[in-house]
Every structure is written in C-alpha cells, then in structure tokens.
C-alpha cells in the first residue's frame, strides 16, 4: 500500500511539471512573436511596423514629357552601278570586219577609229562618183565650145540654155555620188562618238558585221549612277534630291536621287529610280551590284515618346500618365516608329508626364512613384508583389515547433514545421496546429 502511494505521488509531480513547462513555452512564444511583429523583424505580424511598410510600397517609374523630333524609316535594297553616259556603238553598214583597234577596258577619245569594215557599197559608190565626174567634165567641155558660138551669134538662146542645164544636172549628180561615197567610207571606218572607257567589245577580225549590229559599249568619263527599283509604297516617300547611302566591298558612298520613273517597269513590275554617285572609286565598277539604304518613311518635327511607354490592347495604343502619385490610362493615336521612339498623332499634350518605364504592375489608379523621389518607401519598377512577398516570406521563417507570427500565436495556431506564414494571411487564413497540443498529450500520457 505504501509503495502504491509513492508511485501515485510521483506521477502527479510529473504531470504538474509538464503543465508548468507548457505554460512557460506558450508565454515565451507569445512574447517573442509580439516583439518581432513590433520591430518588423522576421516574424512581424500585421499589427506592427512590418504591416505598415508593406502598405506604403509603390512602383518606382520614370516619366517624361513628349518631345518634338523626327523619325526616319530606312529600307535596304540592291542596285546596279551604271555610267552616267553610255553609248552603244553599232555598225551602220553590212560587211566584213577587217580591223579591230580596241578591246574591253581601253580608254578612247572622241573620233578615234575603233573598227574597219569592208562594206560592199564603198566600191559601188566610188564607181558612181567617177562616172558622175566624167559626165560633169563632158558637160562643162560642151558648154565651153557652145559659149563661143553663142557669143558669135551662131547659137540660139534656147540651144545655149540646154547646154547650161546639162552642166547643172551633171554637177548635181556628181555631188550626190560624192556624198554617198563619203558616207560609205565613214560607215566602213567606225569611230568613238564620245571619250570614255570601252566597257565591252564583242567584235573580232573577220566577223560579219550586220547593219545596226552592236560592236562595243563605251561609258563616259563623267560620274556614275546606280539604278534600283521600288514599290508603290516606297515611291510615295521618295523625291528627287533625297540622299541615300551605297555600300560595296566594305566601302560606303553617298548618292542623290536625280530621276524617278512614274511608269511601272514591264520586267520588274516596280518603279525604276536613278541616283547619282558622288564619290566612287574602282570598287564600284560598272555593272556591279551594290547595297542601298533608302529612307522609305519619315515623320519630321512631330511629337514623339519612347517605344517602351506604349501599350496595346485589341490593336489600340495607350499609355500611362503620372498624376499626383497615380497611374492614369490614356488612349493615343500613333504613327510610324523606329527602334526607340514612336510618333504620337493624337491623345497627348506637351506637358503630360508619360510613364516611360514598362511594368506589369501598372494599371488605372495604381500607386506609383517617380524615380529619384523620396516621399515614401518604394520598390523598383517590375519588382512589385514579388519583392514584398520575399520580404514577408523570406524573413518570416521560424524553427520547427515555433510560432510563425504573433497573429498565429493569438489564434492558437503555429506554422507547420519548416514553413513560412505570409503576413497578409496571418490573420487566421493560414491554418495551423494548436500549440496546446503538447501539454494535452503530456497530461494524457501521464
């Protein structure tokens, strides 16, 4: 009996000690959570400074007024270098080529003999000249004899006039034959019509030259030009006098448009444009293909804003304006844009502060703060909820078996071992186990 009383007393003492330990642990957790929440530390609850700091966080943005500027759109095309003056030399009479005095690449001067052609008409023309000359000499001799008779009164006026007309007719025939002969001689000797460079030469000795057949091509000594083709839309933004750049073999040249054809080219279905090259060298050879950079769109002296400031919804453009710490959505009408700026046609005034920072935290009425302002604590643009959640979750972690926040302690709950209890859900939304469970379990075991 005595032994049983000793065992009961010992068990009662263990129960009392366990209950006291449970009370101490609960008070310690409650006190620690409250201080951490008050100081805004890792376990800060919604009632302390940590909660007030979260509510004051704004998105930091940059804002600027629209600027007046110009936007130019460029398009890369290909073109062909051609001489400013090009002459195709043709044979004016048929015959065999008996001599060739030039080849491709040679420089020639105006009037220089290029080819000799044995035209069959030269001999015939020479015979006609000789025959006409004989007839002229005979008519002149007859008139000289008749002049004596006419002067002596032995020849009538009518007869004398016949001899005179015969001389005139013979003279005309001779002149015509001589002209034809000279022409045939010129046809047999082909000369350069201009000074320049022989770009191509297809004629060789003993070749048969046909009338109007091409013999060679000569380019003038003047400046070169580049020809290219554009579409209707591009043509609307081009004008005579516009400048462009030409690239060839790593070198860049300047050119200026001097001719725009308004009729569609049959072979390409586009419009032919010619530009005068101003500073070429041997790298821009005649007939070579070059790369062109042409301005095909421009908006000069217009209102512009950064491209990153523009949002789109259903194909409609809009921006956010900064007004008294709030984001205000404004619809705009835009024009052309390049990589940096977009043209604003309507919807903004010159003194509007346009938010130029892209952020997914922007919406109508959102709290925003200008970069560089120190009116309130703020997070960088784009950080948004992620940074604030990290501040609440990353530092709110508690060791296993310890309460995560003061609110969890007051609600009789503790965060599961190794997990964080977010501050915005600490007011009872995050379920937790009862802290008194340890004491109850100990009492039952006792």
> Domains, the chain, ranges and CATH?
2-54+392-445 (no CATH), 58-84+223-376 (2.40.30.170), 87-217 (2.40.50.100)
95: Cα separation from own chain's centroid = 56
The distance between the two most distant Cα atoms of the chain, rounded to a whole number of Å, is 203
Supply the pLDDT for residue 65.
92
Least confident of 169-183, 343-357, 404-418: 404-418
Confidence of residue 281 (pLDDT cuts 50, 70, 90): low
- Percent of residues in the chain assigned helix, strand, coil, to nearest 5: 35, 35, 35
Q: Is the dihedral of CA 189, 193, 194, 199 positive or negative?
A: negative
Supply the pLDDT for residue 299.
87
Please give the backbone phi and psi of residue 339, each rounded to the nearest 5 degrees, phi first: -70, -20
- Rounded distance between C-alpha atoms, residue 293 and residue 337, angstroms: 17
Q: Which residues contact 431 (CB under 8 A, 6 or more apart)?
A: 413
Q: Which residues contact 53 (CB under 8 A, 6 or more apart)?
A: 40, 377
- Rounded distance between C-alpha atoms, residue 408 and residue 414, angstroms: 6
Kindly tell me if the per-residue pLDDT of 203 is higher than 60: yes
Least confident of 31-40, 100-109, 183-192, 263-272: 31-40
pLDDT digits (tens, 9 = 90+) for 224-237: 889 999 998 888 88
pLDDT digits (tens, 9 = 90+) for 344-364: 999 999 999 999 988 888 899
pLDDT digits (tens, 9 = 90+) for 92-147: 888 888 899 999 989 899 999 999 888 777 778 888 888 989 999 988 988 888 88
How many helices (H) and strands (E) would you count in the chain? 8, 25
How far CA 399 is from CA of 165, 412, 416, 418, in Å, comes to 140, 17, 10, 6
- Segment of 16-20, 115-119, 279-283, 305-309 carrying the highest mean pLDDT: 305-309
pLDDT digits (tens, 9 = 90+) for 12-49: 454 444 555 444 434 444 444 333 333 433 333 444 44
Kindly tell me if the per-residue pLDDT of 160 is higher than 50: yes
Supply the pLDDT for residue 374.
56
Q: How many C-beta neighbours within 10 Å does residue 113 have?
A: 13
């Amino acid at each position: 009996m005595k032994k049983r009383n000793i065992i009961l007393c010992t068990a009662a003492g263990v129960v009392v000690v366990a209950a006291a330990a449970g009370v101490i642990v609960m008070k310690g957790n409650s006190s620690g959570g409250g201080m951490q929440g008050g100081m805004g530390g890792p376990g800060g609850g919604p009632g302390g400074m940590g909660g007030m700091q979260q509510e004051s966080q704004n998105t930091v943005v940059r804002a600027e007024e629209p600027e007046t500027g110009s936007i130019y759109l460029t398009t890369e095309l290909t073109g062909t270098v051609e001489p400013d003056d090009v002459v195709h030399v043709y044979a004016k009479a048929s015959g065999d080529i008996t001599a060739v005095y030039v080849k491709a690449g040679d420089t020639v001067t105006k009037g220089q003999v290029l080819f000799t052609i044995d035209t069959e008409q030269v001999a015939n023309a020479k015979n006609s000249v000789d025959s006409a000359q004989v007839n002229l000499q005979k008519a002149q001799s007859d008139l000289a004899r008749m002049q004596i008779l006419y002067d002596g009164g032995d020849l009538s006026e009518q007869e004398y006039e016949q001899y005179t007309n015969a001389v005139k007719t013979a003279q005309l025939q001779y002149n015509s034959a001589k002209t034809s002969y000279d022409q045939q001689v010129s046809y047999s000797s082909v000369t350069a019509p201009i000074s320049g460079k022989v770009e191509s030469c297809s004629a060789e000795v003993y070749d048969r030259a046909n009338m109007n057949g091409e013999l060679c091509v000569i380019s003038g000594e003047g400046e070169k030009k580049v020809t290219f083709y554009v579409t209707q839309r591009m043509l609307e933004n081009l004008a005579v006098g516009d400048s462009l750049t030409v690239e060839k073999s790593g070198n860049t040249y300047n050119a200026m448009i001097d001719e725009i054809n308004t009729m569609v080219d049959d072979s390409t279905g586009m419009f032919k444009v010619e530009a005068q090259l101003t500073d070429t060298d041997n790298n821009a050879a005649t007939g070579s293909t070059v790369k062109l950079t042409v301005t095909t769109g421009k908006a000069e002296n217009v209102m512009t804003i950064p491209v990153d400031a523009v949002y789109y919804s259903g194909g409609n453009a809009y921006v956010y304006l900064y007004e008294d710490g709030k984001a205000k959505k404004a619809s705009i009408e835009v024009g052309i844009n390049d990589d940096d700026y977009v043209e604003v046609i309507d919807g903004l005034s010159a003194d509007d502060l346009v938010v130029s920072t892209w952020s997914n935290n922007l919406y109508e009425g959102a709290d925003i703060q200008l970069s560089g302002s120190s009116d309130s604590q703020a997070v960088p643009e784009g950080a948004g909820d992620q940074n604030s959640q990290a501040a609440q979750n990353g530092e709110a972690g508690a060791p296993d078996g310890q309460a995560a926040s003061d609110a969890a302690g007051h609600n009789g709950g503790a965060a599961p071992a190794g997990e964080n209890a977010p501050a915005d859900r600490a007011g009872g939304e995050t379920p937790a186990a009862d802290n008194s469970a340890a004491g109850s379990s100990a009492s039952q075991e006792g």
